């Protein structure tokens, strides 16, 4: 019995949204037929109009429930309201069985095609999610193994060579610290992906001052890279953006760090936010050597190889951090892009100012 109920709930789901959509479409069809009748049109216009209405209801709602209801109401309206004798049910009309059958077939076929299309979309989304996870695992396997090996080698050298000079010991310990910081960043990225990759997870967005989020990301960056100048630009009026401030700050931190580690010659970075219509556009510009043209098509999917990012530090893969950034921005309903400038590169993303709006 429970299986039958589950099947019925899947085939004939009820929602207020579908009820509202169906009511609007059928009301428009009824109103249009009324106008045509008042204009003196001959009988026969109602059937194609209600067939179109049934098709739209079946296409824009979930399952078969509202499509079948629209079919029944369409037949009643055509027979009772818009076919002579008006306001009287006449089951003896020659085309009545065909009209009913047409409405029913349109409803069932459209509902079936819609269900199949939604199923294909779900499968496509699941395949993309699995592809992203596989790419992340490939990237992480290298990004974690390489610094761990370096940490093990440096600490072993310090422990096994007590006569090592303080200068050499300090150099090795600084390398250990840098590798440990990189591992922390990788773990933070993985935790973010885990947080937003679950179907049950949701982004808790609340209005936050964009300037404060930019300022916090810039402060953290300056502590780690004091040799690189960072300028922050924000609108004069306070710009409140619905977001998870911790996740967006991580996106900005990843972009700032990539500008230094992969820009090669980066000495200055511009961090800005501005309002563009119903969206807030965040931008990170640097004066480095830019992005290799061959890397642009796969920049955000985590598949970039280390050889594609020209940097002396082979363990730092830009693809992992950028795929995390894109996942976070998309979870907020936004979009992300990258481009080369005359000098350097620009990474930007847009977040909707309305919680319900998305790109």
Consecutive 10-residue runs of the chain (359 residues): their mean pLDDT?
69 85 91 83 74 85 82 78 69 62 76 79 80 65 74 89 88 86 73 58 79 90 88 91 87 89 88 93 92 80 50 48 82 90 92 72
Q: Vertex 302, ends 228 and 242: CA angle to 5°?
A: 70
**Total domains present in the chain:** 2
- Point out the domain boundary residue: 102, 124, 146: 124
Say whether 268 sits in a helix, a strand or coil.
strand
The residue range of the domain holding 355 is 203-359
Domain membership of residue 145 (yes or no) is: no
Model pLDDT, residue 38: 81
- Point out the domain boundary residue: 72, 96, 124: 124
Phi, psi of 12 (to 5 degrees): -130, 60
Model pLDDT, residue 200: 41
344 exposure class (CB count in 10 Å sphere: 0-12, 13-18, 19+):
buried
CATH of the domain at 264: 3.30.565.10
Domain membership of residue 157 (yes or no) is: no
Domain membership of residue 63 (yes or no) is: yes
Do 96 and 219 sit in the same domain of this protein? no
Domain membership of residue 139 (yes or no) is: no
Q: Is the distance from CB of 317 to CB of 138 less than 8 angstroms?
A: no
pTM score: 0.54
Model pLDDT, residue 322: 82
Number of helices and strands (H, E) in the chain?
Answer: 9, 7
Domain membership of residue 104 (yes or no) is: yes
358 token code pair: 């998305």
Do 218 and 104 sit in the same domain of this protein? no
Q: How far apart are CA 212 and CA 233, in angstroms?
A: 11
Say whether 283 sits in a helix, a strand or coil.
strand
Do 118 and 217 sit in the same domain of this protein? no
């Amino acid at each position: 019995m429970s299986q039958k109920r589950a099947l019925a709930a899947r085939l004939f789901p009820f929602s207020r949204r579908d009820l509202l959509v169906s009511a609007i479409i059928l009301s428009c069809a009824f109103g249009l037929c009324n106008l045509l009748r008042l204009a003196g049109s001959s009988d026969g216009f109602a059937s194609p109009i209600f067939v179109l209405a049934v098709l739209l209801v079946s296409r824009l709602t979930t399952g078969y429930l509202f499509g079948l209801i629209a079919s029944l109401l369409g037949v009643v309206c055509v027979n009772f309201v818009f076919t002579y004798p008006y306001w009287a049910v006449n089951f003896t009309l020659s085309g009545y069985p065909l009209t009913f059958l047409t409405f029913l077939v349109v409803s069932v076929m459209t509902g079936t095609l819609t269900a199949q299309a939604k199923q294909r979309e779900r499968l496509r989304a699941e395949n993309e999610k699995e592809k992203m996870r596989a790419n992340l695992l490939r990237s992480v396997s290298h990004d974690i193994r390489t610094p761990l090996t370096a940490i093990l080698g440096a600490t072993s050298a310090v422990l096994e060579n007590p006569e090592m000079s303080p200068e050499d010991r300090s150099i090795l310990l600084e390398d250990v610290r840098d590798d440990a910081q990189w591992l922390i960043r990788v773990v933070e990225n993985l935790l973010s992906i885990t947080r937003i990759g679950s179907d049950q997870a949701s982004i808790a967005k609340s209005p936050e001052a964009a300037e404060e989020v930019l300022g916090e990301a810039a402060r953290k960056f300056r502590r780690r890279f004091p040799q690189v100048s960072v300028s922050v630009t924000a609108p004069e009026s306070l710009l409140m953006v619905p977001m998870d401030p911790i996740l967006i700050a991580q996106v900005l931190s990843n972009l700032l760090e990539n500008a230094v580690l992969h820009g090669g010659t980066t000495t200055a970075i511009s961090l800005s936010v501005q309002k563009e219509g119903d969206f807030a556009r965040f931008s990170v510009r640097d004066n480095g050597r830019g992005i290799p043209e061959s890397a642009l098509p796969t920049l955000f999917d985590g598949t970039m190889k280390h050889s594609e990012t020209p940097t002396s530090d082979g363990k730092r893969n830009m693809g992992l951090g950028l795929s995390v950034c894109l996942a976070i921005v998309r979870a907020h309903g936004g979009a992300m892009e990258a481009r080369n400038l005359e000098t350097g590169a620009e990474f930007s993303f847009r977040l909707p100012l309305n919680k319900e709006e998305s790109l």
